Amino acid sequence: MPKAILGYIRGIDAMNRVIGRITMYLIFALIGVLLWSSVSKTFFVPSLWTLETAQFVMVAYYVLGGPYSIQMGSNVRMDLFYGSWSTHTKAWVDAFTVLFLMFYLGVLFYGAVGSTAYSLGYFGTEPFSFFWDLLVTLVTDGADAAREKMGYMERSSTAWRPFIWPVKAILCVGVFLMLLQCLAEFFRDIARLRGVEV
């Protein structure tokens, strides 16, 4: 295997391991939010922000932890025949099936980018060019000019009415990291097929 591919696998594994290990502590933030929700409903006036905050934290926990889960092999898999196969056969099947996962994640990423652009007030059909223009404007003209490029920002329809773009941006980052991890898993399976253990 070329050194660049081995470096890619090691780099993506290290990055997603760090992000995954940090992300797993979000479960305590989720517990805290839900605990406060229960206390405030029982003893005080119920808080408006707890339900949506819990949902947002759960999205971040699930999506940012996904690449680490793929790396550790702890994702759900049908093990009717897989467990009894040889390492070589598993590598062939994994290298083939990961392509379907990458296709799905690519479609999901495109939709997430479009949805994030929509939440920032862009209603066109070219979300990537919107973000490129936004980045160029931010770098060349500053934050105020970039803010003018954005339209009406999407808010939740609940009484709390938080902005939606942060959770959609987390979704984009998480799905992109899963794509990178799937590519690393594909390269790892190819290496196993060639007799190289990474």
Residue 22 CA to residue 3 CA, distance in Å, equals: 29
Q: For every one of its 198 residues, what pLDDT tens digit does the chain have, with 9 covering 90 and above?
A: 789 999 999 999 999 999 999 999 999 999 999 999 999 988 988 888 999 999 999 999 999 999 999 999 887 777 788 878 888 898 999 999 999 999 999 999 999 999 999 999 998 899 999 999 999 999 999 988 888 888 889 999 888 899 999 999 999 999 999 999 999 999 999 999 998 888
Task: Read off φ and ψ for residue 158, nearest 5 degrees.
Answer: -85, 180
Q: Which helix (H) or strand (E) holds 188?
A: helix 165-193
Q: What is the pLDDT of residue 85?
A: 85
The 3-state secondary structure of 114-174 reads HHHHHHCCCCCCCHHHHHHHHHHHHHHHCHHHHHHHCCCCCECCCCCCCECHHHHHHHHHH
Helix (H, G, I), strand (E, B) or coil at 73: coil
Instruction: Give per-residue pLDDT as tens, 71-106.
Output: 998 877 777 888 788 888 989 999 999 999 999 999
Residue 87: what pLDDT?
87
User: Backbone dihedral region of 195: left (phi > 0), alpha (psi from -120 to 50 degrees) or beta?
Assistant: left
3-state secondary structure of 74: coil
**Contacts with 170 (C-beta within 8 Å, 6 or more apart), sequence order:** 59, 60, 63, 64
pLDDT on residue 82: 80
pLDDT of residue 81: 82
Query: What does the angle CA 17 – CA 21 – CA 25 come to, to the nearest 5 degrees?
Result: 160
Two structure tokens written together for 5 = 């591919």
What the block records as the tokens of 3 is: 């050194």
Look at residues 37, 196, 176 and name the one whose alpha carbon lies nearest to residue 111.
176
| Direct distance between the N- and C-terminal alpha carbons of the chain, in angstroms, rounded to an integer | 10
